[in-house]
Amino acid sequence: MRGWVGGGEDRDRLLVMNEELDPRLTGARGTQRETIVVSRGPAPRGGARGVQRDTVAMSPRIPARVRGVFTAAMVTSGWNGLVVFLPILVCVIAVWWFAGHTEPVNQVARFAAAAWLVGHDIPIEIAGGTLGVAPLVLVVAVCWRLSKAGAHTIRAINGRDFAAVRAVTLAVTLSYGIMITVVAFLVDSESLGVAPWRAALHGVVLSIVFATLGALAESGGGHLLWHRIPVWLRRGTRTGMLSVTIVVAAGALLTGVGIAAGGSTVTEITDGFAGAGIAVGVLSLLYLPTAAIWSVGYLVGPGFMLGADSSVRIIGVDLPAVLPPLPLFGAVPTAPLDEWGTLLLGIPPAIGIFYGVQLGLRSRDLKFGPLTGAALMSGLVAGGVVAGLTVATGGVVGAMTVGAPIWQTSWIAAAEIGAAVLIGSLGTRLLAGGVIPVDHPVTARR
């Protein structure tokens, strides 16, 4: 208590007591104070004891915090959902306009909302078939904005510890889950079918993962956690991420080469849509990153599917009799490659060896045991990332299963990259010499 406000004989006055807010909420000490009103009974006479004690009238803190976190989460979740939805709505309205206003406006908005749901990898029943393959561009946009929702929410409450991260994750997950469920209920109709429970499940899973990552990054907790991990694990994780990034880039390059080689077929299919050719072209552009992940399966070995019993691989192609008339399918190889073409299978191991050499040069402060662990960890990370990407880019189009086989592609990628990194790193260590001190310029950066 600081003291009485005012003076005089009347002791039934207000006492203002300033208490510091919990630093877990503010993130700093002494920067903000709250006012608590204290009232007092009649003044004692003659110093008598046993008089009425001070009465403190204060509102509980926890509900106020909860309200603040959930209010911030509702605002940030709604805003970041709109950031993804509005460009989709603009594209759908443009297509509707060029198509001659063939659908009512409310149906146009419903189609845009359905496309937004597809960006969460939620299957949509449309025209008697299923659209279960999400454009990777939309998936990345959704995940990015969910991480921003977590970051903006924890910034709004000035959170700086793991308790705040947990609170933000819970608030964003609940807010986003409610929002996506409501949208699914509004979209579900005779022309567009969607399961609200599945929409809620996908929204909750994505929110938990990416809102947590965003909150950790913004609060500084992610940096703290990263540096608590042993050095060999950090270097192995970094090497695996770099390796799989270059493999995906090689898949994207291979997709571009395929489109260029089948350019006449792609153009012929696009022209067949007449007035809707613009819409089909835009849709094909959205699915280019998805096709790049299919090409990763092609480079790794298992290839990808364009039907339940089909397979497109470097050493063999087995396609269904008729493919859907989509421009991207015009770039699909129709025959296996020759002997020189099989050299493409060496691209992932070559990338792994390159980054294994880099790992060996940067890890001369590690003994052979931790260095081997880092190389094996890089393979596990690469396989895990490939598994996530193949899950996100596989599914059903109409009645046809498409995408790279998840388990085969992921474990082969893990084995190839892990073994290549191990060979490159241990070979570099043997050629470069023994362990050198940690403070040496070569190993100063971890």
Taking only the tens place, the pLDDT of each residue in 59-71 is 444 455 666 788 8
Q: Specify which of 6-10, 43-47, 257-261 reaches the highest per-range mean pLDDT.
A: 257-261
**What does the alpha-carbon distance between residue 165 and residue 78 come to, in Å, rounded to a whole number?**
19
Closest to 360 measured CA to CA, from 228, 380, 227, 352: 352
Task: Determine the 3-state secondary structure of 85 from DSSP.
Answer: helix
- pLDDT computed for residue 173 by the predictor: 94
- pLDDT computed for residue 224 by the predictor: 83
Q: Is the pLDDT of residue 329 over 80?
A: yes
CB-based burial, 248-280: b 16+ in 10 Å, e otherwise = bebbbebbeebbeebeebbeebbeeeeeebebb
Residue 207: φ, ψ to 5°: -65, -45
- pLDDT computed for residue 65 by the predictor: 61
Under the banding of pLDDT at 50, 70 and 90, the label for residue 384 is very high
- pLDDT computed for residue 327 by the predictor: 80
The answer to whether 396 and 128 are in contact (CB under 8 A) is no
The answer to whether 394 and 402 are in contact (CB under 8 A) is yes
193: β partners: 125
Helix, strand, coil tally for the chain in percent (to 5): 65, 10, 25
- Beta strands 305-306; 400-403: pairing state: antiparallel
Q: What is the mean pLDDT of residues 434-441?
A: 52
Q: What is the mean pLDDT of residues 7-12?
A: 43
Under the banding of pLDDT at 50, 70 and 90, the label for residue 441 is low
Closest to 428 measured CA to CA, from 279, 165, 253, 239: 239
Closest to 257 measured CA to CA, from 347, 323, 324, 352: 347
- pLDDT computed for residue 66 by the predictor: 65
> What order of strands is seen across the sheet that includes strand 55-57?
14-20, 33-39, 55-57
- % pLDDT > 90, the chain: 37
**H/E segment holding residue 192:** strand 192-193
CB atoms inside a 10 Å sphere around CB 225? 11
Query: What's the one-letter identity of residue 89?
Result: L
Q: Is the pLDDT of residue 266 over 90?
A: no
17: β partners: 36
Q: What is the mean pLDDT of residues 33-61?
A: 48
Query: Using H for helix, E for strand and C for coil, what is the string for 15-48?
Result: EEEEEECCHHHHCCCCCCEEEEEEECCCCCCCCC
Under the banding of pLDDT at 50, 70 and 90, the label for residue 15 is very low
Compute the mean pLDDT over every residue in the chain, rounded to the nearest whole number: 80
Q: What is the mean pLDDT of residues 80-108?
A: 81
Out of 105-114, 374-383, 423-432, least confident range = 105-114
Instruction: Using alpha carbons, list the distances in angstroms from residue 202 to 95, 122, 127, 181.
Output: 28, 7, 23, 10
**What does the alpha-carbon distance between residue 395 and residue 378 come to, in Å, rounded to a whole number?**
28
Q: What is the mean pLDDT of residues 149-170?
A: 89
Q: Is the pLDDT of residue 11 over 60?
A: no
Q: What is the pLDDT of residues 21-35, one digit of tens each?
A: 444 444 444 444 444
Under the banding of pLDDT at 50, 70 and 90, the label for residue 274 is low
Q: What is the mean pLDDT of residues 117-133?
A: 84
- pLDDT computed for residue 64 by the predictor: 53
Residues 6+ apart with CB under 8 A from 326: 269, 280, 284
**What does the alpha-carbon distance between residue 102 and residue 204 come to, in Å, rounded to a whole number?**
35
Under the banding of pLDDT at 50, 70 and 90, the label for residue 335 is confident
- pLDDT computed for residue 6 by the predictor: 44
Q: Is the pLDDT of residue 440 over 90?
A: no
Residue 397: φ, ψ to 5°: -120, 115
Under the banding of pLDDT at 50, 70 and 90, the label for residue 259 is confident
